[in-house]
Each structure stands twice: as structure tokens, then as C-alpha cells.
Structure 1
Amino acid sequence: MIYIYHDFGGTHTTALAAAYHLNILKPSTRTLTKEEILAVPFFNKLTKQDSGKIIFHGIDDEGHSVYTIGRRSSKLVVPALKDLCQILQNKYPFDEKIIFSNTSPTVPFAMTMGGFFSRGLKIDFIGVPLLVKGAQQCCDNIYQLVKATKKIAKETTDQQFIILENQAYKA
């Protein structure tokens, strides 16, 4: 299987989702620390120029690849990727299941503003504390989203390409 977590910028909730998926972050009843959040690979590191790039994060404990992508405001990126996968599947058959999981519904307002200040305006002294606060607010929602994504991927046998909008995970 190939997991692709996506959202607007591809550097906050997607990075946290990939970290939970790969057990870099462990689920816990306590709040993540600032240091834990900022140590997550790619967290608050990508720029607008990285939009649309599929970023490899690693191989999970079951041998599945985990990627992220920032799609900006385009609702067309994921359907286009699914169509491309279908074209490739028709031309070069493969058995890999591909799961696109939207992390946007987990984004709290603090993270939206933090991303705007830090990534958009390059004002880290305002943006980073907001991003940390937002990550602390939504980390359990992200973990639950990852858990549900894995479960759906395993249980769905009639589809090779799965798009999960995850509307139930609004923070």
C-alpha cells in the first residue's frame, strides 16, 4: 500500500500524520511538547515552492510507503493523481493500493493562523507558537485520522485507489 496524506500546505497536519503513521510520534494522553512537534520531519519546513511535490516520509512497520503532498487550494490535485494512477494501472498493471487521506479537517484556527504568519509572511516569532498550540490542540484528532485511514485501507478490498476526505475529524 501507498499512503498519501494531503492538505493545503503539506507541512503541518500532513507531517504530523506521517509521523504518527511511522511511529515517530507515539499516541499518548499527554499533550505533545513544543520540542516533539518541532522535531517532526518536514513540520513547518516546506515552502510555497514545495506545493504539489510528493514528499516521501518513510516505510511503516508493515512495509507500506508514506508520503505527503501540499495541494494548496486546488481541489483538482487529488482527483488528478487518482486518474494518473488509473492510467498507469491500465498501462502497467500493479497490485499496489493507494490511499489519499485528507488531513485538512483536523486543522484548528491556531494552526491556520500560525501557518499564515510563519510560512506565508515569514514571521516565525508569531507563527511558530501558534503552530505549536494548534498542533497540541489537534494531535489526537490527527492520530485518530491516521488510525482510521489504516483501518479503512485494510478493510477496503474492492477499490485500488481510495480517497478519504475525513470530514468526521473537524477539530
Structure 2
Amino acid sequence: MLIFIYNCYGGTHSSALAAAYHLKKLPFGRKPTKHEILNTDCFNQLSPKEMGKLIFHGLDEEGHKVYTIGRGSSKAVIPAMRGVLELFEKNGTLHEKVVFSNTSPTVPLAMTFGGLFSRRLKIDPIGVPLLVLGSRQASQNIIKLVERTKKHAKMTSSMIEVLDNGFAG
């Protein structure tokens, strides 16, 4: 079995969308509607205090677990999690392959500013429309990232994978 952990700055926008695409809760053949975006699990709902918290989104069609996490500005969260998992792997108690996938490269400027206005400054009338615009702009890149993440997970023999993803386009 596999565990997928999509991660981004706040854990509430691009990673939440990636989890939704992974779980087939958002459409693949068209851009999502405003309603679909705003009703995505955890979308624009997490506070900065929830950064670093693993959030379970569900099981995919193959029974694999899908999670998200917000890293904040820390460059240590994912390496620290990897280090803990490596300890479990060394002592034989890691029984599922874990794939971390960074969704940040898919984030367009509209989503960045939307998150700033909505989550940080609490100005939803400006932030939410920007988040919807950015989510729609990023949809194809997020879908490609999810497809590559799933494909990579099947191909690798490593128990712990960290995908930085560079540019996801």
C-alpha cells in the first residue's frame, strides 16, 4: 500500500486541490467551477496554526491513503518527516511506501495573492476571487502533477520518496 502526502505552503489550496484530483473529487476534463473549488475538502479553511498537521483526505481507487500538509516557510518539515520514516524503515516497522509531492510549483500568482489576502489578511472579498481564478489557472498543472506522482509511486522501489516537482507544467 501507499501513502501520498501532498504538501505546499499553507496546506489549504494547491495541496487540497491535488488531494481532490487524486481522489477524483474534481473533474479532469474541464476546469472546476467556483462552487467545486470552494467546496473542496479543506480548501481555504486552514489557519496558519494548522501548518505541519497531517490531514487525511481519503482512500483512492486502489485503497491508498491521501493526505495533505502545510509546510509554512520551513524547509525542515518534509526532511524531518522523512527522517522519522527512515527510522521506522531501518527498524522494520515501515510497512507502506510514502510519497511526498510538493504542489507549490503549480501555484500561479493569483493563488499566491489570494491566499495572502484571504488567509493572512482576512480580506475574503479580494482573496477568494483570486483563489478561484488561480485554482482554475492551475487546474491542468495540478492534474499533471497528480498523474506524475501516482506514476512515480508505482515505478519506484524506494519506501520513501520526496518529489520536489520543479515546474509542474
Q: Normalised by the shorter chain, which TM-score bucket?
A: over 0.9
What's the offset of the Cα at 1:11? Answer: 0.2
Structure 2 distance, partners of 1:95, 1:139, is: 33
Q: Which residue in the other structure is 2:160 paired with?
A: 161
Structure 2 distance, partners of 1:94, 1:112, is: 35
Indicate the SS of the match to 1:169.
Answer: coil
Indicate the SS of the match to 1:35.
Answer: helix
Show CA shifts across 1:36-91 (max 9, x none): 10010000000001010000000111010000000001111101100000112223
Q: Which residue in the other structure is 2:86 paired with?
A: 86
Structure 2 distance, partners of 1:14, 1:146, is: 10
Gaps of 5+ in 1: none
Gaps of 5+ in 2: none
Q: Which residue in the other structure is 1:116 paired with?
A: 116
Structure 2 distance, partners of 1:74, 1:89, is: 24
Which amino acid letter does the alignment assign opposite residue 162 of structure 2? I
Structure 1 distance, partners of 2:167, 2:110, is: 19
Q: Which residue in the other structure is 1:134 paired with?
A: 134
Tell me the C-alpha RMSD between the 2 structures: 0.9
Following superposition of structure 1 onto structure 2, how do residues 6-155 of structure 1 map, counting pairs within 5 Å? 6-28=7-29, 30-155=30-155
Identity within the alignment, %: 54
Structure 2 distance, partners of 1:88, 1:164, is: 20
Structure 1 segments, 4+ long, off by >6 Å, are: none
TM-score normalised by the chain length of structure 1: 0.95
TM-score normalised by the chain length of structure 2: 0.97
Contact 2:14-2:107 at 8 Å conserved across structures: yes
What's the offset of the Cα at 1:137? Answer: 0.1
Structure 2 distance, partners of 1:75, 1:142, is: 22
How many residue pairs end up in the alignment? 168
What's the offset of the Cα at 1:92? Answer: 4.4
Deviates more, 1:119-128 or 1:93-102: 93-102
